[in-house]
Amino acid sequence: MKKTFVSFEQLKEIVKEYPTPFHLYDEMGIRENARRLKDAFSWNKGFKEYFAVKATPNPSILKVLKEEGCGADCSTYTELLLAEAVGFKGDDIMFSSNVTPEEDFIYARKLNSIINLDDITHIDFLEKAAGIPDVISCRFNPGGDFTIANAIMDTPQEAKYGFTREQLTEGFKKLIDKGVKHFGLHAFLASNTTSNEYYPVLAEILFKTAVELKEETGAHITFINFSGGIGIPYLPDQKPADIYEIGQGVKKAYDEILVSAGMEDVAIYTELGRFMLGPYGCLVSRAIHEKHIHKDYIGLDACAANLMRPAMYGSYHHITVMGKENETCDHMYDITGGLCENNDKFAIDRMLPKIDIGDLIVIHDTGAHGFSMGYNYNGKLRSAEILLKEDGSTELIRRAETPADYFATFDFSGQFKFQE
């Protein structure tokens, strides 16, 4: 059984101030998790977590992570602006993008961020747009299937990202000729895995590749970036990843491969989003309708515009009916939103306690790729974001949208009129 980080009594007070739906984040949980990650990799003196801004692009959340020593992983111009506004600068920013517009590279160079190139053609594109920096990283795509213990974890050959192995050698040589002095190597080969073996297996691939590249090109490789991929246990009986076991697995590969090759100065970087924030956010909603036809439905005041993962991927998110945590789950419901789309369902055939109109519903694990994937279909307005602070107080860190926000990009100066 999953437990909420906010109690029913706390939540009843919070909703008196903030109308549902809203995303709620747990500051204490976020900080404690960031410290665990840092401790698990403390054996590597250069270790740094570059939080994936795309997962939870809120300046207040980024500020908390910055205070815990994290950097920012950005992939767009707007994310660079957000990171800059929070105070990230220079090598506190990793710019990992693809199909990158010229203006994005220009701004990344202006901020002196570390640029992680996605394709060999981007070398000339970057040089023409903004010049080649002294430090640069390249993203590796080995192709084929990525397997752990004979189980296929993902299929890099189908991914649009990264250099081939042959292109890495060619690209490193080309970049050295253009004045690059220090290199990084990056790869993302599996998504949302709770396997403790993922990072250690990825480490072996990247460490061996780094040794080969040094031998082939003479490049000084100063960091290796594992990107993200460590997932969270969305299912209540799913075992979470053990970040300490993962850290020790990476250390073993580091000692056996890099230290043995005289590359003991290489820093380890990560770009975790889901692992950092996922369990420390939830979507708070209220039951506003019930419907009994061929199935039993409970309609919420939230919809897929607030959390699209179940509609888009069929993803499981645990649901708690607040105040009824200890009641028997003897009612089967589809939990739905109000979009004009039949896939607007947070749960299908879910066994829950009897839900009454007005009940507070908490949808778990929305701290990453929750609010950030929202949209305005059907004219639905994005919800507020609220931070539950360490002292138990709350802070509104993003207000809810209004109709004026929705219409702000239209020109009503002529024949059209809008009155809020």
Query: Please, is 103 exposed, middle or buried when counting C-beta atoms within 10 Å of its C-beta (0-12, 13-18, 19+)?
Result: exposed
| Distance (Å, whole) CA 344 – CA 228 | 28
Is 340 assigned a catalytic role?
A: yes
Contact 324, 392 (CB under 8 A): no
Query: Please, is 175 exposed, middle or buried when counting C-beta atoms within 10 Å of its C-beta (0-12, 13-18, 19+)?
Result: buried
- Residue 139's beta-bridge partner residues? 186
Residue tagged active-site, from 74, 138, 282, 340: 340
The token pair that represents 107 in the structure block: 């701004």
Where in the sequence numbering do the catalytic residues fall?
340
